[in-house]
Amino acid sequence: MTMSSDDSDFYGDDEIMADLKARVKEFDVKSWWEEYGIIDTPLKTQAQKKEVKDISHLHNPYAGVKYAWRLTETIEDFVKRLPPATTNKTPENRWIWIYNPYISRKKKEEADNQKIRGGEDEAPEEEGANLPKVVEGGMARLHFASEFIDMCKKSGNKPYFIARECRVAGKDAAKDILELAKAHNVRCGKWMLFCNTFEVNEVWETIAKATSNNELGIAAKVAPLSTEDKRTERLICVYTADFSDTKDVRRVAEKLKQLGLTQNNTGRPLYYKPDVYTYLGIAHGNPWDIRASIYDTKSMLKKA
């Protein structure tokens, strides 16, 4: 059908029309409804004499994610909808998430970490992050460290010398990897808390409230109920924006202490792990003897 000049003036020129059609085609009704479907309409608000909550300035990169907080629900309703003690873990939903709504980040579906196996459940990426380059460079650096360590072990030198050189190789690799991650804006990290199943709902609600109020870090997640993992402890991760910003990392640790969450049943401190270690598979007992964490609350919060 040919559009008249009047219609063209009303809807815009061909370029605007093409853009509008593309936006309509890309619009995800299901995601929008899950995030905004329970917002009070003007007529509903008028009938109930309620004030409309303005959320236009808030952010949620997990919009449309089933196991995540919605901007339109209270923390109490969120925990009631997804209590970690009894909410089942599924292949699609391995964690329950809450995001700090005052910080802007990439949407979950747009992040490069969704393409990395084992990295899909890390913190939302910041704009300008180049995760593929960090992973490529980090793996190359670890490969170099592995070759050096193998060479040392076959050198025939005394055991203490070999052990020392291997430790140095691991430390140097870790330093380079952290510098690489910082240079390419892959800077998130997390404080890791463990709590018993019987108290996980209460602890999670405390963390969720503080996160939503911009009092902790950029996001937090908690492990739901797993039918395969029979351990009685649940892991909660509290993310900060930049592992190299020790002032902010310490601030979050101090807030966790204030909330009474830095002491666990074993008396061990909380540990902080940069996300880049997760992306590269650097865990406890790794072949490079790299410490899986870079901070702990015992040393970070010790009195001067």
Given this model, what pLDDT does residue 298 score? 92
Given this model, what pLDDT does residue 61 score? 87
Given this model, what pLDDT does residue 252 score? 97
pLDDT band at 240 (very low <50, low <70, confident <90, very high): very high
Q: Cβ-count burial of 122 within 10 angstroms (0-12 exposed, 13-18 middle, 19+ buried)?
A: buried
Reply yes or no on whether the pLDDT at 46 is more than 80. no
d(CA 169, CA 163): 10
d(CA 62, CA 69): 8
Given this model, what pLDDT does residue 232 score? 80
Spatial strand order of the sheet with 271-274 comes to: 96-99, 219-222, 233-240, 189-196, 271-274, 295-296
Q: Give the ranges where 38-187 is alpha helix by DSSP (H).
A: 42-48, 75-81, 131-153, 159-183
pLDDT band at 182 (very low <50, low <70, confident <90, very high): very high
Q: What are phi and psi of 67, to 5 degrees?
A: -95, 50
Given this model, what pLDDT does residue 44 score? 52
Reply yes or no on whether the pLDDT at 162 is more than 50. yes
Given this model, what pLDDT does residue 51 score? 52
List, for residues 186-209, the tens digit of each pLDDT value: 999 999 999 999 999 999 999 999
Given this model, what pLDDT does residue 121 score? 87
As a whole number, the mean pLDDT across the chain is 85
- ∠278-182-139 over CA atoms, to 5°? 45
pLDDT band at 294 (very low <50, low <70, confident <90, very high): very high
Given this model, what pLDDT does residue 257 score? 94
Position with higher pLDDT, 108 vs 187: 187
d(CA 277, CA 282): 5
Reply yes or no on whether the pLDDT at 7 is more than 70. no
pLDDT band at 59 (very low <50, low <70, confident <90, very high): confident
Given this model, what pLDDT does residue 262 score? 85
The answer to whether the pTM exceeds 0.85 is: no
Q: What's the average model confidence in pLDDT over 151-165?
A: 89
d(CA 24, CA 26): 6
Per DSSP, 245 falls in state -
